[in-house]
Amino acid sequence: MVRTVRGDWEDIGAALNVALPRCRVTTLGREVEFGEPEHPADVRLAGASLPEVSRVYALLTGRGAEGELSFRRGAGVDEIVITCRVGPFGQPAVEFCLVEELALRLGDLYGVGVAPVRTRARATGRDTGRVTGRAGP
């Protein structure tokens, strides 16, 4: 399953922290690819490192199926392309859950410093409007 979303690259980790347990998936490892900047001299002068262009995670589901989840920068501003494949023949329910939860969380976090984690109806993916965590004083 592939989906392009608008989000902040630095929020991928936070989105994974919410999406993985909701979909009963864990990561086994991560690979990061760094790209060449448009103006290498400017980057060296500023002392900045090369930007990440993709992240790839090895996955393991609660039922023991292995998979791969990747993020790569899209063509547009703040676009992130999410690709997920689970099992040798695919597992659409797991793939859909993971990609949708990631897209929703990246959307919640886009352009803001923090955002509440909202509960979502598991079957439909719709936002229930409730905020997780303790209630009251």
| DSSP collapsed to 3 states, 95-118 | HHHHHHHHHHHHHHHCCCCCCCCE
Neighbouring CB atoms inside 10 A of 114's CB total 7
Per-residue pLDDT tens over the stretch 58-67:
999 989 999 9
Contact 1, 96 (CB under 8 A): yes
φ and ψ at residue 107, rounded to 5 degrees:
-65, -40
Computed over every residue of the chain, the mean pLDDT equals: 81
Put simply, whether the predicted model's pTM sits higher than 0.85 gets the answer: no
What confidence tens digit (pLDDT) does each residue in 26-60 have?
Answer: 999 888 888 764 444 434 444 456 678 889 999 99
